[in-house]
Structure 1
Amino acid sequence: MDVSLFDFDLPQELIAQTPLLNRSSSRLLVLDRKTEEIEHGTFADLLGYLKAGDVLVLNDTRVRPARLIGVKEETGAQIELLLLKPLGEDRWEALVKPAKRVKEGTVISFGEGRLKAIAQEEADMAGGRVFQLHYTASDLEELLVDLGQMPLPPYIREELAEKERYQTVYSRETGSAAAPTAGLHFTPELLQAAKEKGVEVTFLTLHVGLGTFRPVNVETLEAHQMHAEFYSLGEESANRIHRAKEEGRRVIAVGTTAVRTLETIARDHGEIRATSGWTDIFIYPGVKFQVVDALLTNFHLPKSTLIMLVSAFAGRELTLHAYQEAVEEQYRFFSFGDAMFIL
């Protein structure tokens, strides 16, 4: 299948640069797959589409503030590092800019020497390299909170005033390089209102990697290889989801990361069960869904694996029709943008 089939025109001014003051005041486009009807509202209207017995599945991953600005000890040149994946014993896979200035053995210093990164072998990604970290603090995660910045996507050019606005209100498991953005719209009050309506709210974890969000750079979908991401589903959540499927109740995935986790588990085990592992599942039109009955998601980049997943769920033509209407109605796109509920 040709990647160009998932392209669309998006005016630059519709790319949201900052989060709204109130998380749940974003707009909501509701797409009915059966009737192909589209409705417009605000995110708080989501409650009206939820029913008692629904299971709302959220990704509780937390974004690591892993964007570091430092200097080469040898020359004083500024270097940017984005820590992506721990390899054990303080070795990390990372993106480095400018990559050409960093060779094996280069030492980069951050926070006046509180953290140092020694370049090792190249990693299997453009601009990627493995680094050995040395630091004076007792805990690296606490040090990153102090020294690091949020790894915002490159299409966001504005500075983020509050780091927590790139975290969901229910985030708790640190490990992502990017936020599961569909969840950014929820407030504690909205989640509580859903529970009071009889909706079961439950969690899984998928640590989001940067590869998920990048445009596909091959001509056909079949030639694309996804980066692997770590996921985990606990016993309580697995039981809730498994029981809902047995009883014919809806499982609603909040975000494409929740979809990928649930469908990976069903594919690998034939059912939903408590488990953890790595997934490189690539969902595009033709792939059959075994678990997810409805999807809450943001509006995604052209030719990205995310719009391909949405197209697999709602159909390519219907998805692109909804996107075109979103453009005409001046919806805000991407990470800090508006949401779409597909049922």
Structure 2
Amino acid sequence: MKTADFDFDLPPDRIAEHPVRPRDAARLLEVGSTLRDFIVRDLPTLVQPGDLMVVNDTRVIPARLDGRRGEVAVEITLHKRLGEREWATFSKPGKRLKPGDTIVIADDFSAEVIAKDGMEVRLRFSAGGAELMEALHRHGRMPLPPYIRRKADEGDNADYQTVFAAREGAVAAPTAGLHFTPELLAALDERGVRRAPVTLHVGAGTFLPVKVDDIADHKMHSEWGEISAETAAAVNETRKAGGRIVSVGTTALRILETAGRPDGTLVPFSGDTDIFITPGYRFRIVDLLWTNFHLPKSTLFMLVCAFAGYDRMRAAYRHAIDTDYRFFSYGDASLLHRTDPT
């Protein structure tokens, strides 16, 4: 398929700059054999006792830094951890940086340019491990996506974290999880829906556009993830008992499908994944997908088309745009039923 097959016109005013409050007051579009409009807090009526929700417990770090290389201002967005002190980054203006350059972020915090590879700039920071994390919390800010045009403010420190956030390492939020509140989780518990965590440290590459004409030529970014033996067992027990696996977000889905076997069982996993899911893919683990509304021509829109069906998702997005759903990270939610390819 062509990248142009996944394009659509999105009015700029549909892009949410801030979340709704409370979080579970956002709108919800159920996409199955028909399209049905709900509110996020209606979710317990759309799932069944015995279902298992798999959530991503990654926590976003303050991954955007401002520094200077001499007189040149540099904006750094961390992308992927490579070592105790080294990160792959997207740094602007990347063309003006070269190996050996030093970027001063604060009097006690700097980074050296180690290498460049296309859009990526590899940096070695003056601090590592826990000291690096402390420096990021002192000097960094929340790495809001590029389509949110304002700068991150104090409110984003809470708004851009999910209630599941526990393990630091993401540089973008697993945004499907942003809709959940303690009250909604309590209602799901009462419904008899269990939860299990996975980790996928979301990278800034999730926002990279697909620039090739044929999607088969696209090179997917890699991200680190982990599935514990306990979560794998919970998934396998649920499926054996006839329950459904509800993935909270495309990030949880990608790590689940990475570790899924052809027979539909899940194994523990720890490592990088660069799985790229497009129409024609046969899903092994996930039955329902809870997700936000995604960018045109993005790998995430390709994924939801693979999951729920290309024509069905085109129709769903037309409905969402026509009825003023809010798009992207701080936008509304959808609940997708899987449609297997024939």
Q: Compared with structure 1, are the counterparts of its residues 220 and 321 closer, same or farther at alpha carbon in structure 2 (3 Å cutoff)?
A: same
Give, in whole Å, the separation in 1 of the partners of 2:42 and 2:126: 49
Q: TM-score, normalised by structure 2?
A: 0.94
Cα deviations by residue, 1:209-254 (Å, 9 ceiling, x for unpaired): 1222322111111111111111101122111101111122100001
Structure 2 counterpart of 1:27: 27
The AA in structure 2 aligned to 1:157 is R
Whether 1:80 and 2:72 are equivalent positions in the alignment is: no
Structure 1 counterpart of 2:333: 339
Structure 1 counterpart of 2:58: 61
**What value does the CA root-mean-square deviation take over the aligned residues?**
1.6
What 5-or-longer segments of structure 1 have no aligned partner?
Answer: none
Q: Could you say what secondary structure the match of 1:179 adopts?
A: coil
Q: Could you say what secondary structure the match of 1:139 adopts?
A: helix
Structure 2 counterpart of 1:39: 36
238, 247, 257: which one aligns with 1:244: 238
Whether 1:172 and 2:169 are equivalent positions in the alignment is: no
1:181 Cα deviation after fit: 0.6
88, 94, 101: which one aligns with 2:96: 101
The AA in structure 2 aligned to 1:134 is S
Whether 1:16 and 2:11 are equivalent positions in the alignment is: no
Structure 1 counterpart of 2:256: 262
Structure 2 counterpart of 1:142: 134
Give, in whole Å, the separation in 2 of the partners of 1:154 and 1:48: 35
Give, in whole Å, the separation in 1 of the partners of 2:315 and 2:172: 27
1:270 Cα deviation after fit: 6.4
Q: TM-score, normalised by structure 1?
A: 0.94
1:137 Cα deviation after fit: 9.9
Give, in whole Å, the separation in 1 of the partners of 2:267 and 2:114: 39
Give, in whole Å, the separation in 1 of the partners of 2:75 and 2:126: 17
What 5-or-longer segments of structure 2 have no aligned partner?
Answer: 338-342
Instruction: Flag as ranges the 4+ runs of structure 1 deviating above 4 A.
Output: 267-270
Structure 2 counterpart of 1:225: 219
The AA in structure 2 aligned to 1:18 is H
Structure 2 counterpart of 1:182: 176
Structure 2 counterpart of 1:4: 4
70, 85, 91: which one aligns with 1:90: 85
The AA in structure 2 aligned to 1:144 is L
Q: Could you say what secondary structure the match of 1:151 adopts?
A: coil
- Percent of counterpart pairs with the same letter? 45
The alignment of Structure 1 onto Structure 2 pairs a total of residues equal to: 335
Give, in whole Å, the separation in 2 of the partners of 1:169 and 1:26: 16
Give, in whole Å, the separation in 1 of the partners of 2:270 and 2:88: 21
Cα deviations by residue, 1:114-155 (Å, 9 ceiling, x for unpaired): 2110111113x41x2111211499621122111101111111
Give, in whole Å, the separation in 2 of the partners of 1:137 and 1:287: 38
1:78 Cα deviation after fit: 1.2
